[in-house]
């Protein structure tokens, strides 16, 4: 990994050394169970958990009592959809989401659909944004949840979440946002979003894997969820299981760092993204930007290069540059990205998309090296391609 250029920061991020430093005492010496209140070691662990709860809550503008720790955003998303349905199924049975959601939302929604829930999956435009007007039109007297991700994991498009939150509030419908890609990368405040529920995870923001969180609004309105797991009273009964104290501590530290560096990091990462984008477009024609040109995550760049196969490029640069051809959660499935399909990306650009994830530890020198190497690989592969130059327009 030391010699490889890592540009897959939408899939996961490197653990920040300061986060590791904060975690180590709870992996070595302060290893007690946070539920063990009968001795000082357990109390120290519990105090560390509550400190981290405050740190993570502050990042999203929530109260600490509204933050519950989970194993990650997939669990948080499933808890929202299934747990809310269990509480509301006697009254309402309709969910609204959109076509480019993460699979953990879409699959959970399809599961509920098979159990009697009516599901509306809204289309997105060519840049990956859902129309708030479509959200408003889809609401019925049976709607109990609108679940729209804040930022897309493949193309980086940021949704008009605040407007959707306002629509949901006016209609008396709960609004959930999957903020896995957004938390720690762009300013995020649940009050401004008018979100009732929000999912996010540590490993997308330079924290450890295996730890996530769920924000559940307590007032105006008070949101009730049925737990997915039973067998303990951890997390006030919403999420049973021994707390991952080192992971939680790392999540808290990662949140603290993200809050402190957010503005400067946004500016630096966006500058590197623009350098990469401009350089590739200057060197390679028939390069298509996927996603919104301005409403996108600072470190995300998703490009399709006509006349190549993304997987063939990845095979050639394996061990040199870490990129992905689609979401890491579905990579290897063999099919075209459901996100690009929902955006009606032309067929000649569906399997030609590469996702670049620029992050905290990416350097300008690495971007220069990627520009040189990718230009060489793509230009050579195009020479033997029967599909270059393409007939279809960008």
Active-site residue, selected from the candidate residues 54, 87, 281, 329: 329
Which of 232, 231, 215 has the alpha carbon at shortest distance from 223? Answer: 215
Give the sheet arrangement for strand 118-122, strand by strand: 67-70, 212-216, 197-201, 174-178, 143-147, 94-98, 118-122
pLDDT at 335: 78
Percent of the chain with pLDDT over 70: 96
Average pLDDT over all residues of the chain: 95
Domain 17-256, CATH among 3.40.640.10, 3.40.1670.10, 3.90.1150.10, 3.30.160.100: 3.40.640.10
Name the E strands within the chain: 5-6, 67-70, 94-98, 118-122, 143-147, 174-178, 197-201, 212-216, 287-289, 300-305, 321-322, 353-357
pLDDT tens for each residue of 355-368:
999 999 999 999 99
Q: What is the C-alpha to C-alpha distance for residues 277 and 22, in angstroms, rounded to an integer?
A: 36
What does the domain layout of the chain look like in residue ranges? 5-12+262-382, 17-256
Token couple for 50:
């509550």
Cα dihedral 26, 31, 37, 43, rounded to 10, equals -30
Q: Known catalytic residue: 281?
A: no
pLDDT tens for each residue of 152-194:
999 999 999 999 999 999 999 999 999 999 999 999 999 999 9
Q: What is the C-alpha to C-alpha distance for residues 358 and 51, in angstroms, rounded to an integer?
A: 30
pLDDT at 13: 98
Rounded to two decimals, what is the model's pTM? Answer: 0.95
Query: What CATH number has the domain spanning 5-12+262-382?
Result: 3.90.1150.10
């Amino acid at each position: 990994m030391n010699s490889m250029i890592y540009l897959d920061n939408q899939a996961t991020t490197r653990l920040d050394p300061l986060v590791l430093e904060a975690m180590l005492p709870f992996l070595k010496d302060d290893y007690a169970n946070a539920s063990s209140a009968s001795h000082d070691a357990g109390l120290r662990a519990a105090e560390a958990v509550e400190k981290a709860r405050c740190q993570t809550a502050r990042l999203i503008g929530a109260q600490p009592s509204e933050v519950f720790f989970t194993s990650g955003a997939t669990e948080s998303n499933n808890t929202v959809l299934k747990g809310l349905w269990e509480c509301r199924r006697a009254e309402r049975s309709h969910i609204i989401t959109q076509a480019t959601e993460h699979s953990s939302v879409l699959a959970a929604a399809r599961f509920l659909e098979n159990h009697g829930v009516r599901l509306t999956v809204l289309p997105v435009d060519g840049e990956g944004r859902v129309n708030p007007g479509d959200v408003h039109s889809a609401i019925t007297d049976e709607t109990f949840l609108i679940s729209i991700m804040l930022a897309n994991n493949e193309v980086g498009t940021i949704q008009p979440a605040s407007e959707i939150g306002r629509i949901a509030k006016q209609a008396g419908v709960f609004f959930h946002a999957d903020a896995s890609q957004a938390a720690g990368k762009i300013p995020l405040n649940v009050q401004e979003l008018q979100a009732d529920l929000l999912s996010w995870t540590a490993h997308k923001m330079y924290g450890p894997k295996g730890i996530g969180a769920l924000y559940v609004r307590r007032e105006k309105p008070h949101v009730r969820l049925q737990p997915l797991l039973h067998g303990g009273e951890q997390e006030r009964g919403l999420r049973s299981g021994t707390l991952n104290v080192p992971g939680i501590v790392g999540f808290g530290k990662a949140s603290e760092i993200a809050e402190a560096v957010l503005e400067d990091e946004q500016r630096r990462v966006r500058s590197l993204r623009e350098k990469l984008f401009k350089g590739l477009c200057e060197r390679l024609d028939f390069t298509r930007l996927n996603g919104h040109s301005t409403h996108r995550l600072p470190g995300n760049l998703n490009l399709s290069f006509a006349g190549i196969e993304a997987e063939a490029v990845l095979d050639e640069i394996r061990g040199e540059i870490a990129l992905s051809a689609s979401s890491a959660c579905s990579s290897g499935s063999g099919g075209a990205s459901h996100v690009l399909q929902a955006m009606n990306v032309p067929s000649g650009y569906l399997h030609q998309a590469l996702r670049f994830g620029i992050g905290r530890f990416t350097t300008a020198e690495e971007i220069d090296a990627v520009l040189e190497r990718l230009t060489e690989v793509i230009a050579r592969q195009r020479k033997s391609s029967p599909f270059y130059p393409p007939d279809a327009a960008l």
